[in-house]
Amino acid sequence: MKKSFMKVYASVYGCPSNIADYEISLGLLKEAGFEVADSPKEADLNIIFTCIVKTPTEQRMINKIQKLTKTEKPLVVAGCMPKTSQRTIEKINPKASLVGPDSIEHIAEVARAALEGKKGFFVDDERKPKVGLPRARKRKDVGIVPISIGCLSNCSYCAVKFARGKLKSYPIGKIVEDVEKLVADGCTEIWLTSQDNGCYGSDIGKTLPELLEDVCGVGGKFKIRIGMMNPTHIQTFLPELIEAYKNERIMKFLHIPVQTGSDRILKLMKRSYKASDFEKIVFSFMKEFPDLFLSTDIIVGFPGETQLDFEKTLHLLERIQPQKVNISKFGARPRTEAAGLKRLPVKTVNERSRILYNLATSF
């Protein structure tokens, strides 16, 4: 096989962490001698980085895998599905090679196996830091830096934990070196990403504010965008985090998912905080940063959600008026606790989603 003539087409869906895996994988493939094709039609091999965070999203992934299978070209399925939906993939394409989120360093090996008609299979949790690796960036000005994999939460509705596991934080020094390389390569924005930036360092005796202090010390002209943080962990270092945000390098962007304004539903979701905790964090930031861009997430129609619970969510949003609200209708994910709970009528969920959307876009 002549590596230099092998063309690979890759598509990616989902969160910045998955996009980071995609960029690193393409970087590794280029380093190994592969060329990147502009479409599946031009490629000798197709790769798809999948997302399973929502039921409609996973169905979309299934449709994409079916479409790529019909090309009759070798296929590599990466992202979260190889860890959570292996049987589903193999029913569609028994020959598809699989690469889990923890195994992307094997992407070139898997690609070669697939092109030789073999089935590459790397889905074990190797837990190696994804820093200092080559990248083929989607945007030349943006460097996406994974700071950890996995999380410490045990949300009753989430299936991502089955794909990315428990928290494994990467060393601050390695992250700083990665940022230095990206800035030197022309990046003017650095996006720090993980499943939950808020819990970074809990397993290695460090905190997010400590990481930010060192990253802000990197030379060059660039801004830092901090990815999603859950309220549970922010509470433990709120003053330090606000102080870190005062650095001119840190973008005044805050993504904190509340999911619901009802403490009763938060308990059913196993979110480990109260709505008032979320509000305290948000208002503390708003007081210090009037130009703050606030993004939050809401799950509408969670099993057991009453009209009163829903109204508490509406009232919460009216008080904080975020710039962006990511609204998701509850969808039962396999193997999760919430999948066994009684679902609300579809009509009720759709109506509440419509009301919530109208409110969220009125601010």
pLDDT in tens, the chain (363 residues): 444 569 999 999 999 999 999 999 999 999 999 999 999 999 999 999 999 999 899 999 999 999 999 999 999 999 999 999 999 999 999 999 999 999 999 999 999 999 999 999 999 878 889 999 999 999 999 999 999 999 999 999 999 999 999 999 999 999 999 999 999 999 999 999 999 999 999 999 999 999 999 999 999 999 999 999 999 999 999 999 999 999 999 999 999 999 999 999 999 999 999 999 999 999 999 999 999 999 999 999 999 999 999 999 999 999 999 999 999 999 999 999 999 999 999 999 999 999 999 999 998
Residue 31: name the closest of 179, 132, 141 by CA: 132
pLDDT (0 to 100) of residue 125: 77
Quote the pLDDT of residue 5: 67
Strands 189-193, 253-255: pairing kind: unpaired
Q: Give kind and range of the element (H or E) at residue 11.
A: strand 7-12
294 contact partners, CB below 8 Å, separation of at least 6:
254, 256, 282, 285, 286, 320, 322, 323, 324
If one counts every other C-beta atom within 10 angstroms of the C-beta of residue 138, the result is 12
Supply the pLDDT for residue 300.
98
**pTM, to two decimals:** 0.93
Locate tokens 């396999």: which residue? 334
pLDDT the model gives residue 128 = 87
pLDDT, position 127: 81
Which whole-number Å values give the CA distances from 66 to 9, 57, 169, 177, in the listed order? Answer: 16, 14, 35, 40
Show the tokens assigned to 282.
Answer: 């948000």
Cβ atoms 303, 342 nearer than 8 A: yes
Looking at residue 295, its amino acid is S
Q: What is the pLDDT of residue 126?
A: 80
Domain 3-122: state its class. alpha beta
Enter the DSSP assignment of 7: E
Give the number of other Cβ atoms within 10 Å of residue 245's Cβ: 20
Structure tokens at 66: 């079916």
Same fold, 3-122 and 142-360: no
The fold adopted by the segment(s) 142-360 is pyruvate-formate lyase- activating enzyme (3.80.30)
Q: What is the pLDDT of residue 165?
A: 92
Q: What ranges do the domains of the chain cover?
A: 3-122, 142-360
Residue 68, pLDDT score: 96
